Structure 1
């Protein structure tokens, strides 16, 4: 005996075309956002050391034999042998995941060329970091911290791309900055250095080419 399958039309699955169109548009939007995502990363001591070991590069601070060590937000001193290896002139860094410091604009460019990266412009930097919700190391409440644990803003100043002048604009502020003293953690703050200057509170962050 042949069996007859009777389908209840009311039980057929229905497809809402409007929902499908909406889901498709959402997927396109998410995909486009991922493609446009800019990944700004602070260069660590470990990464800079690899660059030095592979290239034999000598930094500006090493050429001069001294660099600047910041004591607090207003006071600093020149210290012999202060360089990326010994930021205070004596001691090596406590962690290889700390941001590299005592580097100049020239040093940052040399690293970028080797690593196939680039420096952000000042405005580009602030556009990116507004989405960083990690803790900001400022107001001298914490020491310089490992880069994975804290906001790009604060911690150490960031060197930005030179935009048609001799002075290099620093962004983001350092652990000493706050709204009551140097305002370094806000975009409107202006702080410039020359292309050879390093400091125990100056580092840099990079973008993919």
Structure 2
């Protein structure tokens, strides 16, 4: 009888281990299909055209225009169509900017995608070997031409405390200043603020 019980227990443990292994494999495969996609001006244009959405910056009539890593101004008329408040974005493939967390969330709900958590963001960008736009050496560049790191800060999903953390740094970052292209840099933003160097990327499935 004791031997029979031992065989039953061993068989149960084996089945449990096998189930765990299968679950790990499934989870790993699902994660491997996830990608991070920066949202472009063209992407956001489609969203606005179909929904009539009005961004926080458009409602307020002004937004922040970062001049360099230290200096900024507030300018009337700055919003996603005119990031500097003066001229329209000249390339639909540029990352959309002058968008707040609220705006990013509205886009995600429409597009059936989601913002990455801060940790997910860094897991997904680690294999991107394209040029990082930083240190003010290049202007903001088309999303399909450069590394997701740098270029513009990315809004991520709020943490457990409800804080919105920015990830990835921007064209203004450098090793001696904000250094946002490393994961331990902490920069938070409220849910209504936009800026000329803040955009967002979304979690998407890779076919």
TM-score surpassing 0.5?
A: yes
Q: Contact conserved, 1:116 with 1:208, CA < 8 A, in 2?
A: no
- Is 2:158 the counterpart of 1:136? no
Residues 1:38 and 2:46 are matched in the alignment: no
Structure 1 segments of 4 or more deviating over 6 A? Answer: none
Note the alpha carbon deviations across 1:164-192, whole angstroms, 9 max, x for none: 33431000000010111111100000000
TM-score, normalised by the number of residues in structure 1: 0.83
Matched, 1:48 2:48: no
Long gaps (5+) in structure 2: 1-24
Runs of 5+ in structure 1 lacking a partner? Answer: 1-28
Aligned length: 179
Shift of 1:37: 2.5
2:37 and 2:204 in contact (8 A); partners too: no
Contact in 2 for aligned 1:166/1:195 (Cα 8 Å): no
Q: Structure 1 residues 175, 35: CA separation in 2 closer, same or farther (over 3 Å shift)?
A: closer
For the Cα contact (< 8 Å) 1:138–1:175, is it kept in 2?
Answer: yes
**Structure 2 residue 193 is the aligned partner of structure 1 residue 188:** no
Q: For residues 146-181 of structure 1, what are the alpha-carbon distances to aligned partners after superposition, in whole Å with 9 as ceiling and x for unaligned?
A: 000100000000000012334310000000101111
Q: Distance in 1 between matches of 2:162 and 2:55?
A: 19
CA deviation profile, 1:68-105 (whole Å, cap 9, x unmatched): 00000011010001000100111001100000000000
Distance 1:34 1:167 in 2: 27
- 3-state secondary structure, aligned to 2:144: helix
Q: CA RMSD in A?
A: 1.5
Q: Deviations over 1:112-167 (max 9, x none)?
A: 00000000000110011001111100011000000001000000000000123343
Partner of 2:4: none
Larger radius of gyration: 1
